[in-house]
Structure 1
Amino acid sequence: MRVVLTVAESESRPGGVASGAGVQVRPDPRCRLPGRGAWLHVSLECLDQAIRRRAFTRALRVEVPGNRLDCDLVREYLSAHTTE
């Protein structure tokens, strides 16, 4: 499954650095959202591992203070679409 980074207009800064509050990773199951994407297995275990290893910040090439990205939308999508 593809995921993309969404940043609120007021939160973005030059150089791909975001201030943190408006940065969110969201699912893109149809692979149509604009921007750099990252790929993830459709499992909550894989999501937890990607968060733990900070894979999204590397794959999406973004710097977020404290390396904390909001992945709630991806977690909700996976919870609804998996039977783990």
Structure 2
Amino acid sequence: MQTLMGLLPIILMFVIFYFLLIRPQQKKQKQVQQMQTELEKGDRIITIGGMHGTIHAIEDNSLVISVQDGTQMKFDRSSVREKLNKD
């Protein structure tokens, strides 16, 4: 019984750590993955590197992004950080 009481603070710290750090990070990661799979042609996006552009074409796991001067570049879907509103 005394061993269980000695382990209780460690178990409690792990539970708190899980609910404060691990679980919110998993939820955020699922939201980002869902956003990346729902990307469509014409969406305005920002890449992880900070490049702003519009999706010109979508291939399997990559996107062709058109930037303001008409330049087109190919990126992986996973490099998209944020989807902006279309307006």
User: Fold conserved (TM > 0.5)?
Assistant: no
Normalising by structure 2, what TM-score? 0.24
Normalising by structure 1, what TM-score? 0.24
Name the larger-Rg structure. 2
